[in-house]
Structure 1
Amino acid sequence: MQLLRTLCHIQAPSGHETRLTKFLLHYIATEQKNWRATPQVLAGEQFQDCIVLVFGQPRTAVFAHLDSIGFTVRYGRQLVRIGGPDAETGYQLVGEDTQGPIECTLTVDEETGALGYEFTRDIERGTELTFQCDFRETDTTVQSCYLDNRLGVWNALRLCETLEHGIVAFSCWEEHDGGSVAYLAKYIYETYGVRQALISDITWVTEGVRPGEGAAISLRDSLIPRRAYVDRIRQIAAKSGIPHQLEVEGAGGSDAKELQRADAPWDWCFVGAPEDNVHSPDEIVDKRDIESMLALYQVLMREL
């Protein structure tokens, strides 16, 4: 879990993923010698802060978003949300502006719900603030801010260790309306002919998806994937014997939104571990579900 701990501590709110991108490029350059196959690494201005890894003769692409929720400093001591973070007075936020590092406290006006901060000075407008990371690990769980989606990134990186054929795409902006998957999907489809995807992201604990019972294969959220593709995934998962759950929701979304709306015939399915305390500093995931998620991806990328 040391890699996951490191990932959770790196600030990368939507639109400012650069730090995490640099970390991943260094990690990939250092670790790929230990992987079963060496990927082609696609990065740079053409891809903004995204990274695409191409292994062998790919048939399927995995998408994992790098960014997190957070807050942007507005005017005075006002904050505006990046994505949909939970907000409670007392949450500790961190960031940095030209005057130095920042550790401040989130405030929520009881009457209006307006967001602000308490700090020893005014923070420069446009500064991004994220939850202060308090990574906690027990024998059975991990708990931290930004398991959504650093755990999805961790899963994708661990998948790279054994992947022989496939594409792993690290995307940006997912938490705040997306934007990068559209051009990544276009490039991947036009260059490699790949048009089926898995979404390596984290879902929610609900009355029907429980911690410790395996990663969730989502049959739908606010969007509906093509049933024939999802049924193939269900059959492979059932045959593997790996613990998993089926999820049915009427809300929520992921990088799949841009695949669904692409001008190419993309198939997609969300497969991810469920977490509780969503979008808060205290997101928590059962380790059995983490194991299930990685095992499912390893099997699916071989069989699809």
Structure 2
Amino acid sequence: MNLLEQLCKIHAPAGNEKMLSDFLINYIEQHKVQWKVKPEVLYGDEFQDCILLVFGKPKTAIFAHMDSIGFTVRYGNQLVTIGGPDVKTGYKLVGEDEQGPIECTLTYDAEEGELTYEYAREIERGTELVFKCDFRETEESVQSCYLDNRLGVWSALQVAETLENGIIAFSCWEEHGGGSVSYLSRYMYEQYGVKQGLISDITWVTEGVQPGKGVVISLRDSLIPRRSYVQRIVAIAREAGVPYQLEVEGGGGSDAKELQRSHYPWDWCFVGAPEDNVHSPDEIVHKADIASMVSLYKVLMEKL
């Protein structure tokens, strides 16, 4: 969990993923020699801050978004949300502007719908603020801000250690409208003929999805994946004996929306651990669900 804690503490709100991208590139370069297959590592201007890891002869791609929700300083002490963060008066926010590091307090006026910060000075406009990380681990769970989606990134890195054939894509902007998966998926399709996607992201604990009962295979959210593809994934999970839960939701979305709307014939399925206290500083995930997530991804990347 040390790596997961490091990931959760890195400042990478949607649109400013560079610090996390640089961290991952350094981590990959240090560790890839120990992996079963040494991947081709693709990054640079052509991919903005995204990263592609290409292993062997790929048929399937894992998409894990690097960015988090947060806040942008507007004028005076006003804040604008990045994505859909939980907002409660008293949350601690951190960031940095030209005058130095910042730790301030979020204030939410529910009647007016206004978000502001309390701090000793005015923070420079355009500064991004994120939840202050308080990483907590017990025998059963991990709790922190930004498990969505640093846990999806962490899981993909665990899969990378033994992956023989496949692509892992670390994407940007997912929490605030997306944008990067569109060009990443085009590149993968045109260069490698890959058209099967797995979304390594974190979903919600609900009345039908419980912590500790296994990784979630989503049958639908606001979008509907191709049924035959999802059925293949469920069959592989059942045969492998990996604990899993089936999710049916009418809202929410992920990097999959850009695959669904692609000009290329991509199949996709959301596969991820469920968390409670979504988009707050106190997101919590059961360790049994983390273990089943990694196990299922390893099987799917081999069998699909």
Alignment TM class, shorter chain as reference: over 0.9
Shift of 1:111: 2.1
Structure 2 residue 21 is matched with structure 1 residue 15: no
CA distance in 2 between counterparts of 1:141 and 1:228 reads: 34
CA distance in 2 between counterparts of 1:79 and 1:115 reads: 5
1:4 match: 4
Residues 43-79 of structure 1: CA distance to partner in whole angstroms, max 9, x if unpaired? 0011000000000000000000000000000001000
Secondary structure, in 3 states, of the residue corresponding to 2:41? strand
Shift of 1:113: 1.9
Structure 2 residue 58 is matched with structure 1 residue 58: yes
2:261 match: 261
1:124 match: 124
Secondary structure, in 3 states, of the residue corresponding to 1:36? coil
2:94 match: 94
2:288 match: 288
1:176 match: 176
CA distance in 1 between counterparts of 2:174 and 2:119 reads: 29
Shift of 1:33: 1.0
Residues 73-95 of structure 1: CA distance to partner in whole angstroms, max 9, x if unpaired? 00010000000000000000000
Instruction: Specify the code of the residue in structure 2 equivalent to 1:270.
Output: F
CA distance in 1 between counterparts of 2:53 and 2:277 reads: 32
Secondary structure, in 3 states, of the residue corresponding to 1:269? strand
Secondary structure, in 3 states, of the residue corresponding to 2:189? helix
Report the aligned-residue RMSD: 0.4
Structure 2 residue 60 is matched with structure 1 residue 45: no
Q: How does 1:23-38 map to 2 (within 5 A)?
A: 23-38=23-38
Instruction: Specify the code of the residue in structure 2 equivalent to 1:14.
Output: A
Secondary structure, in 3 states, of the residue corresponding to 1:216? strand
Task: Note the residue ranges of structure 1 that are not aligned, 5 or more in a row.
Answer: none
CA distance in 1 between counterparts of 2:242 and 2:186 reads: 32
Instruction: Specify the code of the residue in structure 1 equivalent to 2:127.
Output: T
Number of equivalenced pairs: 304
CA distance in 2 between counterparts of 1:159 and 1:241 reads: 18
Q: How does 1:181-200 map to 2 (within 5 A)?
A: 181-200=181-200
Shift of 1:109: 1.4
Instruction: Specify the code of the residue in structure 1 equivalent to 2:47.
Output: F
Shift of 1:110: 3.7
CA distance in 2 between counterparts of 1:35 and 1:186 reads: 27
2:105 match: 105
Shift of 1:98: 0.4
CA distance in 2 between counterparts of 1:179 and 1:152 reads: 18
CA distance in 1 between counterparts of 2:222 and 2:192 reads: 29
Instruction: Specify the code of the residue in structure 2 equivalent to 1:97.
Output: D
CA distance in 2 between counterparts of 1:185 and 1:117 reads: 39
CA distance in 2 between counterparts of 1:248 and 1:108 reads: 32
Structure 2 residue 142 is matched with structure 1 residue 156: no
CA distance in 1 between counterparts of 2:254 and 2:262 reads: 14
Shift of 1:4: 0.3
Q: Name the TM-score, length of structure 2 as normaliser.
A: 1.00
CA distance in 2 between counterparts of 1:178 and 1:257 reads: 9
1:205 match: 205
Secondary structure, in 3 states, of the residue corresponding to 1:268? strand
CA distance in 2 between counterparts of 1:228 and 1:110 reads: 45
Task: Note the residue ranges of structure 2 that are not aligned, 5 or more in a row.
Answer: none
1:85 match: 85
CA distance in 2 between counterparts of 1:111 and 1:61 reads: 45
CA distance in 2 between counterparts of 1:186 and 1:228 reads: 22
CA distance in 2 between counterparts of 1:17 and 1:61 reads: 21
Secondary structure, in 3 states, of the residue corresponding to 1:123? coil
Instruction: Specify the code of the residue in structure 1 equivalent to 2:197.
Output: A
Q: How does 1:228-239 map to 2 (within 5 A)?
A: 228-239=228-239
Instruction: Specify the code of the residue in structure 1 equivalent to 2:141.
Output: T
